[in-house]
Every structure is written in C-alpha cells, then in structure tokens.
Chains A and B, each alone.
Chain A
Amino acid sequence: MKGFLRADGRKGIRNIVLVTYLVECAHHVARAIVNDSNSGDVQLIGFPGCYPNGYSLKIMEGLCTHPNVAGVLIVSLGCEGFNREQLSNTIKASGRDVETLVIQKSGGTKKTIAVGLERVNELLVTAQQTEIVPMKMSELVVGTICGGSDGTSGIGANPAVGHCFDRLIKDDAICIFEETGELIGCEQIMAERAITPELGVEIMKSVEKAEHYYTTMGYGSFAPGNAEGGLSTQEEKSMGAYAKSGSSQIHGLIKPGDIPSLGGLYLMDVVPDGDPLFGFPNIVDSAEIIEMIASGCHLTLFTTGRGSVVGSAISPVIKVCANPETYENLSDDMDVNAGKVINGETSVQQSGDEIYDLVCRVSAGEQTKSEELGHQEFVITYKKFEGIGPSCMPTIR
C-alpha cells in the first residue's frame, strides 16, 4: 500500500484539492469554481451558517488538514462569522497550501470565480507533486456508521464489519465507531469492554447523556424505515448497531474532530454537551460520516439494510448491504453483499474478510461504488461540545 505524504507526516489514500465556502452566500461561487475546474480531484465542501461556532470550526479544520487533502481554496463572502483567519492559519501550519478569496474584496461573483479557478489550478499542480511513500495498515484510520438499518443489519452486515474491525485492530490500525444515541441499551456491556474502569464510567455517562438528549428532542435515533424493516425499539436497533464494534477492547472515547494517535478501537460521542441547543445531534447519516472524516478516517464502512446510496467528500465510503432483497434492487450502489449471510450462503466471518480485503484495495486506490458514481455528500451543522476528560484517552495499552 502507498500513501500521499503530507508535510505534517500524515499519509493519505487520496490526493484532493478542496474548495470550501464559509457561508451559504459563498456557495454558488465555490461550486462554480469546482465545476469549471473540470477535475475529479477538486471537491466542494462548506458551511451554511453566518453565526460562528467552535464545533464547526474544529470540524472544518479537521477536514481541511485531513491526510487525503493536498490543498484548500477558502471562499468567503466577507461579512460572515466563520473565523476564516484561524482556518487558514491551521491549514498553513499543517504545511498544506491554502488560498483565501473574499468575494466582497474580489469584485463579486464573476471575478472571484475567474481568480478562484486560477488558484485551484495552481493547487492542483502542487498536489500532483506530492511524494508517494509506502504506507502500513497500522497507519490507517477506519470509521463505521450504519444508516437505513433494518432487521437484517444486526445479523449480517454489522457483525461482519465487527470482524473486519477486529482484524484491523490486530494490524494496529485505528478504528472508530459511533452514535451513542444508537447505543442506548448497550451501555453496560460496552463499559465492560473499556481498557480502564474510569473509561467505562465515561462511556456509561455518554450514553446516559444521549438518552436524555434524544428524550428532550422527542424522537430517538429511529427512522420510519427502521420500523418498516422489522426493528421495533431503540434498544433493538442499538444491539444491531453495536455489533459493528467487534470484540476488541475499547481504548478511548473521543468527540468529533478529536484524532486518536494510538492504534485500537475508539467510541465517538456525537451527542452535544449541555442542554439541547441546536437540534438533533446528527440530522442525517452524512453528518456522521463527516465527523468520522474530521477525526482522521481514511475511509468509512457504511452498513445499510434499507439501502442508502450516499458517499462522501474527502474520503471513500464502502457500503455494506445487509439485506439480500435490497442488494438485488440497489446492487449498483453497494460494494459488499452481506445479504449472503441472511441467505445462508456465507458466514459472518467470510463476509468480514471480504470487507477487510476491500478496505485494503480501496486504500490502495480502487474506487468504491459511490466514488465511481460521483457521490460527494457533505453536511456540517451547529453543535456544542466540551473537551474530553482525562479518562477518555488512556495512554496505557
């Protein structure tokens, strides 16, 4: 396996240039620059809101300094609240190329698009000079989420991802699973897997926080499609989702944008701290994928029963389909058919090995289905977090 070596020492499995808008008002100009670049290596991300927010800044910093990213063009309207100076400085400090265009100072839409296109072409030239070096499995960060779960998810696809995670952790890779709100009911067994009792307490607290938060919102993390697919309760969905974590010990509890430094299994606490403030913790699956990527994930394993078709900007998404009927219907969008487990054609372990092999191939450059189809979904919302406690990232191994 080979990686793109960044100035900060991190290694990427893709080599892209980002164009990011910092407020919806700059979206059109940023999109036009990406479209006019006519390059598959230029991707569009952005943040819609005009109010500043520590979380969205942290996520944006994590994304713009992601190992898959070679350089960034920031497109600002000019009067929005997003701290473009700090974002630019963080990118610069990581050794990546960064350019900022402020539409109000650049003569408006047409002129900014024209200058932006020049800047992006320069960034592409620099990106192409990135050194390619050997990369080990232990340098890989892999996330997992589930979306459109149904009664098959917890039987085939999720435990298969769990098996893949166990193998990756044996290779000393970093693996991250998440959505404490989708782990309600699993807190006790999960806490018992923590490498220290103090971490176990933090895990219990994070799930209790999620239960409180979702109760206040009036909905659990439970969509109508979950019920149509045979799931009846939050804890039933949770038990299925939990299987994605495999059987390794849990090494730490991180929050979105925190980047683990040691190999092992990490739980991401995605539910905001304090009283509910900005709405649902994650409004949609793509918001979870983006948080995974902001925490350094080179790729994300996405299990689905009902059949999600999304991919993501920045990092590839491998879609593992749990339901054999869904696979038949949506095979063009699915990378792995774990529905074979439901049909009795394969074992969970074989399916997990298939996912592991695909992780290796995609890391080596093979395109996933969603990449081939051009999926680059992207969402960041407002959230509020406090930093993690000292027990959340134990250094002992």
Chain B
Amino acid sequence: MINRHFVLLNKTDNIFVCCKQLLAGESTNLEDVDVAMIVDITVGHKIARKAILKGEKIIKYGVSIGSAIKDIDFGEHVHMHNIKSDYIASHTRQSRVGEA
C-alpha cells in the first residue's frame, strides 16, 4: 500500500488500485507527488501511476491487462473510457450484442 487510498500490486505496474474511496477534488500523495482526483475514485478502480500514451499497455499484477486508447495523465482514472482489451470487448448494461 502506498497510502490509505491506493495500492501498488507489482513494482512494474503503471496503475494504482484504489482500496479506499477518494472523491473528486480530493488530493492524495502518490510516491511523493500530490495529485487531485478529477472524478470520484471508488474501491477497486485504477488510476495512472505515470502519464500513459495512446497504444501503451496497461500493466497490472506485472502483466498487460489491455491498451490505452487515448493519452492518459498521471493520476487520471483508468477504465473503459480510455483503455480496451487486447482480446475481447467489454460491455456494460447499455451495450448491444457485439458492441463495446
């Protein structure tokens, strides 16, 4: 755990995982750098450990869990809006068959 709110699962990861919710506007110290949350970050969600470029792999548990589909800032929420699977599309309650 790097602070009360985030955990680094593997030293090669480029994301942190939230273990205690942090609301939009609240700041946290990530490896000696302060950063404010732009959106609410709830338990289980990810934020960027560093700036990630479009096309770069997202590393969690030390392995790739997908690719960035746009540039991601340090501290930004990392989720379905800015990363995608390299295998099979994810879906939400609003999705239609075969669409992400």
A residues near B, CB below 8 A? 150-155, 184-185, 189, 211, 214-215, 218-220, 222, 224, 226-227, 229-236, 239-240, 305, 323-325, 342-344
Contacts and interface: CB of A to CB of B under 8 A. Distances in A.
B58 to A, nearest CB: 8
Contact of B44 (A184, A229, A233, A235): A229
B91 A344 contact: no
Q: Top 8 A-B pairs ranked by shortest CB distance?
A: A151-B44, A230-B44, A236-B65, A230-B45, A233-B85, A218-B98, A233-B66, A224-B93
B49 interface: no
Given A230-B44, A230-B46, A323-B43, A151 B98 contact: no
Contacts of B66: 232-233, 235-236
Contact of B85 (A155, A234, A240, A324): A234
B interface, how many residues as a size bin? Answer: 35 or more
A373 B97 CA distance: 36
A224 B92 CA distance: 4
Contacts of B9: 155
A342 B18 CA distance: 9
Given A151-B44, A224-B93, A239-B60, A234 B17 contact: no
A211 B85 CA distance: 12
A230 B88 contact: no
B88 A342 contact: no
Interface string B2-20: 0000010100000001111
Interface string B43-72: 111100000000000101101111000000
What's the dominant secondary structure at chain B's contact region?
A: loop
Contacts of B61: 154, 239-240
Contact of B79 (A155, A218, A230, A323): A230
B90 A342 contact: no
Given A151-B44, A233-B65, A220 B89 contact: yes
Contact of B63 (A224, A230, A239, A323): A239
B43 A232 contact: no
A233 B46 contact: no
Given A235-B64, A342-B19, A151 B45 contact: yes
A233 B91 contact: no
A185 B60 CA distance: 12
Contacts of A155: 7, 9, 17, 19
